């Protein structure tokens, strides 16, 4: 039995996916830190006992954190988790201008690790952050070594850990007090059909449905043309090939007949994990986010469920887009729990 219970601080916490998973594992989360204050109510409402600090980590200092939370240096039972915004290092082909400011946030996180030297460090990010020669992760890993940490790292596919979506992420666990390794994948493979559909509490709804309850089975509206496109799209994994050559439905960007990006406007498969749930999962034009058989994109709650949030997790936001951003940016709570349990096991063996 551990002498003292493990505790954690969730940097870049957002709406609390990692915090929720850590708490489920039995770790006491002291606080979430994020510069997006719109996440505060969602975070605190669902993660009792943890406070949300609205802070910009590029300006916030270790001394500020010491004052705000009264934590000490070299605490062997402390976990610092730093799952920074990662759009700049994503392989998704979007403009990187907006995300330039956040590309080196992991190095801002590093100053807290260096100052406090917690017992454990956790990082989850897009695979690109570790593969790029000019990426900050190499410097961060080298720094951890110089601080005396054992480091385990690799790219994990969360669908191999019982998460119902294909979500590849760079995962790093580091320990200053014990040996550490990444958790082993499980044989549990969960599909869309296992968690969505009427048998799982999701009634049939139409595009544009507004669910005013906390369940938020809410969907974005669709134009008449997009509704017709979906009606022509084969159920259970269909794509735009059934209508792309019909002039009135053809998408200008694919008018040349190029056979690429078939996930756009595509339906999910019932018998497979979903694609990666992004911040734009409410829109069929941003990926394979159409329901396997209903003529709509998946709802907010369906996206949250594919991210493994508990069904009673309450999201507080001003719009579909704001809630979807909280959900898509989160570390899936089930994966966070697995990581938390791995750290607990490491701590017991020190």
Is the separation of the CB atoms in 235 and 259 below 8 Å?
no
Tell me which residue of 18, 98, 38 sits closest to 324, measured CA to CA: 38
Spatial separation of the C-alpha atoms in residues 149 and 341, rounded to whole Å: 19
Q: Could you identify the residue written with the tokens 């694919």?
A: 254
Q: What is the DSSP letter of 268?
A: P
For the beta carbon of residue 240, count every other beta carbon within 10 angstroms: 22
**Which of 39, 83, 86, 253 is flagged as catalytic?**
86
Spatial separation of the C-alpha atoms in residues 106 and 85, rounded to whole Å: 9
Spatial separation of the C-alpha atoms in residues 84 and 107, rounded to whole Å: 10
CA distances from 15 to 46, 124, 289 (A): 9, 15, 22
CA distances from 92 to 57, 76, 244 (A): 25, 38, 23
CA distances from 47 to 22, 43, 56, 313 (A): 10, 6, 21, 9
Tell me which residue of 337, 287, 283, 266 sits closest to 307, measured CA to CA: 337
Q: Does the annotation mark 86 as catalytic?
A: yes
H helical segments located in the chain: 17-25, 40-46, 62-69, 105-116, 128-131, 137-146, 192-195, 224-232, 300-306, 320-329, 333-348
Q: Which residues are marked as active site?
A: 86
């Amino acid at each position: 039995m551990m002498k003292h219970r493990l505790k954690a601080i969730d940097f870049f916490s957002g709406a609390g996916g990692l915090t929720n998973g850590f708490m489920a594992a039995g770790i006491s989360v002291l606080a979430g830190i994020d510069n997006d204050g719109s996440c505060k109510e969602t975070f605190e409402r669902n993660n009792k006992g943890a406070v949300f600090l609205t802070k910009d980590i590029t300006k916030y200092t270790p001394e500020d954190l010491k004052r705000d939370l009264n934590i000490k240096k070299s605490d062997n039972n402390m976990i610092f988790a730093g799952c920074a915004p990662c759009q700049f290092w994503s392989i998704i082909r979007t403009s990187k201008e907006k995300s330039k400011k956040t590309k080196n946030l992991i190095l801002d996180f590093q100053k807290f690790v260096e100052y406090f030297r917690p017992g454990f460090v956790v990082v989850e990010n897009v695979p690109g952050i570790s593969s790029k020669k000019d990426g900050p992760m190499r410097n961060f890993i080298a720094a951890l070594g110089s601080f005396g940490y054992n480091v385990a790292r690799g790219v994990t596919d969360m669908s191999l850990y019982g998460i119902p979506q294909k979500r590849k992420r760079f995962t790093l666990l580091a320990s200053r007090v014990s040996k550490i390794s990444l958790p082993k994948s499980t044989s549990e493979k969960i599909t869309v059909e296992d968690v969505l559909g009427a048998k799982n509490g999701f009634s049939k709804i139409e595009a544009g449905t507004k669910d005013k309850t906390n369940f938020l089975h809410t969907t974005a509206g669709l134009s008449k043309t997009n509704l017709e496109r979906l009606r022509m799209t084969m159920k259970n994994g269909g794509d735009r090939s059934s209508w792309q050559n019909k002039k009135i439905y053809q998408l200008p960007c694919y008018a040349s007949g190029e056979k690429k990006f078939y996930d756009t406007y595509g339906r999910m498969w019932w018998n497979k994990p979903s694609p990666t749930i992004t911040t734009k999962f409410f829109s069929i034009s941003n990926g394979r986010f159409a329901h396997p058989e209903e003529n709509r994109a998946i709802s907010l709650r369906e996206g949250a469920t594919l991210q493994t949030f508990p069904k009673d997790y309450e999201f507080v936001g001003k719009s579909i887009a704001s809630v979807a951003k909280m959900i898509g940016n989160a570390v899936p709570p089930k994966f966070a729990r697995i990581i938390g349990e791995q750290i607990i096991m490491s701590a017991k063996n020190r």
